[in-house]
Amino acid sequence: MTTKFIGIIVNGATGGIATRQHLESSLVAIRDEGRLNVAGEYVVPRLLLVGRNEERLAETARRFAVEEWTTSLDDALANPDYSIFFDAAATGQRKTTLTRAIEAGKHVYSEKPVAPTVAEGLELLELAKARGVKHGAVEDKLNLPGLRKLSYLLKQGFFGQILHFRLVFGWWVFAGDLVEGQRPSWNYKSSGGGGLILDMHPHWRYVIEGTLGRISRLVASAWTAIPERFDESGSKYAVDVEDSTSVQVELENGVHGSIFGSWATRVRLDEPLSIHVDGTHGSAVAGLHRCHIQLLAQTPDVAWSPNVDPSHDHRTDWTEVPDLWRYPNSYRVGWEGFIRHVLTDAPFASNLSAGIRDVMLAEACYLSANESRWVDLREFE
In this prediction, residue 242 carries a pLDDT of: 98
Are 51 and 110 part of one and the same domain?
A: yes
Are 135 and 147 part of one and the same domain?
A: no
For 112-139, how does the pLDDT look when each residue is reduced to its tens digit (9 = 90+)? 999 999 999 999 999 999 999 999 999 9
pLDDT band at 230 (very low <50, low <70, confident <90, very high): very high
- Asked if residues 56 and 14 have their Cβ atoms less than 8 Å apart, the reply is yes
Give me the torsion for CA of 16, 17, 19, 22, rounded to 10°: 180
Residue 356 lies in a domain: no
Are 159 and 21 part of one and the same domain?
A: no
3-state secondary structure of 86: strand
Are 177 and 129 part of one and the same domain?
A: no
3-state secondary structure of 140: coil
Residues facing residue 87 across a β-bridge? 11, 110
Are 102 and 242 part of one and the same domain?
A: no
Residue 17 lies in a domain: yes
**Stretch 170-194: mean pLDDT:** 93
Whether residue 252 has pLDDT greater than 90: yes
Amino acid of residue 188: Y
pLDDT band at 25 (very low <50, low <70, confident <90, very high): very high
Residue 83 lies in a domain: yes
Q: Whole-angstrom Cα distance, residue 238 to residue 241? A: 9
Residue 202 lies in a domain: yes
In this prediction, residue 306 carries a pLDDT of: 83
Whether residue 90 has pLDDT greater than 90: no
Percent of the chain whose pLDDT exceeds 90 = 90
Are 130 and 232 part of one and the same domain?
A: no
Domain CATH for 182 = 3.30.360.10
Q: How many CB atoms lie within 10 A of CB 274?
A: 18
Say what the pTM is: 0.94
Amino acid of residue 153: L
Cβ-based neighbours of 304, under 8 Å, separated by 6 or more:
310
**Stretch 34-44: mean pLDDT:** 90
Q: What is the mean pLDDT of the chain?
A: 95
Are 117 and 190 part of one and the same domain?
A: no
In this prediction, residue 345 carries a pLDDT of: 97
Residue 199 lies in a domain: yes
Are 134 and 145 part of one and the same domain?
A: no
3-state secondary structure of 222: strand
Question: Three-state secondary structure along 127-192?
Answer: HHHHHCCCEEECCCHHHCHHHHHHHHHHHCCCCCCEEEEEEEEECECCCCCCCCCCCCHHHHCHHH
> Count of residues for the chain?
381
Are 167 and 42 part of one and the same domain?
A: no
Residue 378 lies in a domain: no
Q: Whole-angstrom Cα distance, residue 215 to residue 131? A: 32
Residue 377 lies in a domain: no
**Stretch 153-167: mean pLDDT:** 98
Domain containing 315 equals: 141-324+361-371
- Asked if residues 32 and 26 have their Cβ atoms less than 8 Å apart, the reply is no
Strands (DSSP E) found in 122-179: 135-137, 162-170
Are 277 and 175 part of one and the same domain?
A: yes
Q: For residues 379 and 239, which has the higher predicted lDDT (pLDDT)? A: 239
Are 166 and 299 part of one and the same domain?
A: yes
In this prediction, residue 193 carries a pLDDT of: 87
In this prediction, residue 310 carries a pLDDT of: 77
Percent of the chain whose pLDDT exceeds 70 = 100
Domain count, the chain: 2
- Asked if residues 173 and 216 have their Cβ atoms less than 8 Å apart, the reply is no
DSSP designation for 36 = -
In this prediction, residue 324 carries a pLDDT of: 83
Residue 376 lies in a domain: no
Strands (DSSP E) found in the chain: 3-11, 37-38, 41-50, 68-70, 84-87, 107-110, 135-137, 162-170, 215-223, 228-230, 236-238, 244-251, 256-262, 273-279, 282-286, 291-295, 319-320, 375-376
Q: For residues 83 and 269, which has the higher predicted lDDT (pLDDT)? A: 83
Chain centre to alpha carbon of residue 376: 23
Domain CATH for 70 = 3.40.50.720
Are 64 and 192 part of one and the same domain?
A: no
For 285-336, how does the pLDDT look when each residue is reduced to its tens digit (9 = 90+)? 999 999 999 999 999 988 778 888 878 888 899 999 999 888 999 999 999 9
pLDDT band at 227 (very low <50, low <70, confident <90, very high): very high
